[in-house]
């Protein structure tokens, strides 16, 4: 069941979303060749806790870390480890915070050192797809409009949309209804209403959309070994449009 958020709940979601955005701003300077994904995890964990919040991924369904770090062909849910990042890598950091019982969820793909041309084009296209999808969010629009907008932007460029994972409703719970697919048809799906909160988080592959899950039972990687990119924001449906809860105006880079 989709939960329509009340004004006081929305305010708490703004606070949680702002903190999640601040985590990405804080960690960005540390993403460089030689750093381990464990080091990034620990810095984010400490920052979240020091701000009186909880890192939502930690122990969520057994997930062992406080953030997800997905590198190169890893689509999502990568587990931080002693792996050292190298020049030319693309790493996605997925941050979810809990502030006074409410979740804020965002992620960003970062370049490690100097980006390769092919990687830059994929990451830029994924970010653009998120922006275009957010732009269609308003009361009366349909969920299918979001997915169709993403699909229409990336597929003509030769990229593919991951089907197995999607955006989701969010609030008191990490994952709520509705499911927000990143592909679909305009004019189809649930009608959006004021007070709905959900994530849009397209996962776009350089090659085919097929994936497999590693033996850790979490990390999803591209079946063909090609690069994947992702961006995510938590979005609120307002009276006449939308509000991005995980964006800090003038600071957030996407």
Give me the DSSP letters along 27-65: HGGG-STT-BHHHHHHHHHHHHHHTT-EETTTTGGG--S
How far is the first Cα of the chain from the last one, in angstroms, to the nearest whole number?
A: 30
Alpha-carbon distances, residue 117 vs 107, 121, 124, 154 (angstroms) = 22, 6, 11, 17
Q: How does pLDDT run across 172-198, given as a tens digit for each residue?
A: 999 999 999 999 999 999 999 999 999
Q: In whole angstroms, what is the distance from residue 205 CA to residue 226 CA?
A: 7
- Tell me the two tokens of residue 201: 């988080």
Q: In whole angstroms, what is the distance from residue 111 CA to residue 152 CA?
A: 25
Look at residue 253 in the predicted model and tell me its pLDDT: 80
Q: In whole angstroms, what is the distance from residue 14 CA to residue 234 CA?
A: 10
| Whether the Cβ atoms of residue 210 and residue 105 lie closer than 8 Å to each other | no
Q: In whole angstroms, what is the distance from residue 149 CA to residue 130 CA?
A: 9
- Please name every residue paired with 205 in a beta bridge, in sequence order, or none if there are none: 160, 228
Look at residue 164 in the predicted model and tell me its pLDDT: 97
Q: How does pLDDT run across 145-160, given as a tens digit for each residue?
A: 999 999 999 999 999 9
Q: In whole angstroms, what is the distance from residue 20 CA to residue 24 CA?
A: 7
User: Is the pLDDT confidence value at 3 over 90?
Assistant: yes
Characterise 187 by phi-psi region: left (phi > 0), alpha (psi -120 to 50), beta (else).
left
**Does the reported pTM lie above 0.95?**
yes
| Neighbour tally for 240: CB within 10 Å | 9
Instruction: Calculate mean pLDDT across residues 57-69.
Output: 98
Spatial CB neighbours of 109, under 8 Å, sequence gap ≥ 6? 90, 91, 92, 123, 126, 127, 229, 230, 231
DSSP, collapsed to helix, strand or coil, labels residue 46 as helix
Look at residue 252 in the predicted model and tell me its pLDDT: 86
Instruction: Calculate mean pLDDT across residues 74-81.
Output: 98
What ranges do the domains of the chain cover? 7-244
Task: Provide the pLDDT confidence category of residue 69 given band limits of 50, 70 and 90.
Answer: very high
- Please name every residue paired with 103 in a beta bridge, in sequence order, or none if there are none: 98
| Whether the Cβ atoms of residue 151 and residue 134 lie closer than 8 Å to each other | no
Q: In whole angstroms, what is the distance from residue 3 CA to residue 221 CA?
A: 32
Q: In whole angstroms, what is the distance from residue 22 CA to residue 201 CA?
A: 18
Q: How does pLDDT run across 87-141, given as a tens digit for each residue?
A: 999 999 999 999 999 999 999 999 999 999 999 999 999 999 999 999 999 999 9
- Tell me the two tokens of residue 149: 């907008």
Q: Which CATH number fits domain 7-244: 3.40.50.410, 3.40.50.150, 3.90.230.10, 3.20.20.70?
A: 3.90.230.10
DSSP string, 104-165: EEEEEEEE-SSPPHHHHHHHHHHHHHHHHHHHT-STT-BHHHHHHHHHHHHGGGT-EE-SS-
Q: How does pLDDT run across 203-250, given as a tens digit for each residue?
A: 999 999 999 999 999 999 999 999 999 999 999 999 999 999 999 988
């Amino acid at each position: 069941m989709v939960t329509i958020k009340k004004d006081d709940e929305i305010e708490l979601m703004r606070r949680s979303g702002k903190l999640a955005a601040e985590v990405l701003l804080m960690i960005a300077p540390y993403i460089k060749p030689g750093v381990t994904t464990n080091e990034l995890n620990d810095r984010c964990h400490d920052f979240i806790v020091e701000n009186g919040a909880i890192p939502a991924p930690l122990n969520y369904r057994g997930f062992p870390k406080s953030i997800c770090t997905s590198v190169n062909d890893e689509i999502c849910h990568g587990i931080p480890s002693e792996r050292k990042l190298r020049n030319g890598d693309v790493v996605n950091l997925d941050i979810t915070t809990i502030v006074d019982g409410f979740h804020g969820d965002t992620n960003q793909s970062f370049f490690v050192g100097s980006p390769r041309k092919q990687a830059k084009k994929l990451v830029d296209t994924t970010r653009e797809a998120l922006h275009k999808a957010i732009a269609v969010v308003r009361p009366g629009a349909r969920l299918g409009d979001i997915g169709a907008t993403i699909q229409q932007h990336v597929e003509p460029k030769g990229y593919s949309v991951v089907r197995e994972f999607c955006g989701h409703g969010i609030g008191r719970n990490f994952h709520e209804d509705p499911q927000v697919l990143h592909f679909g048809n305009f004019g189809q799906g649930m009608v959006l209403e004021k007070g709905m909160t959900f994530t849009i988080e397209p996962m776009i592959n350089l090659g085919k959309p097929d994936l497999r899950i590693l033996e850790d039972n979490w990390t999803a990687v591209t079946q063909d070994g090609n690069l994947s990119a992702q961006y995510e924001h938590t979005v609120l449906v307002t009276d006449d449009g939308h509000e991005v809860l995980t964006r800090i105006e003038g600071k957030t880079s996407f």
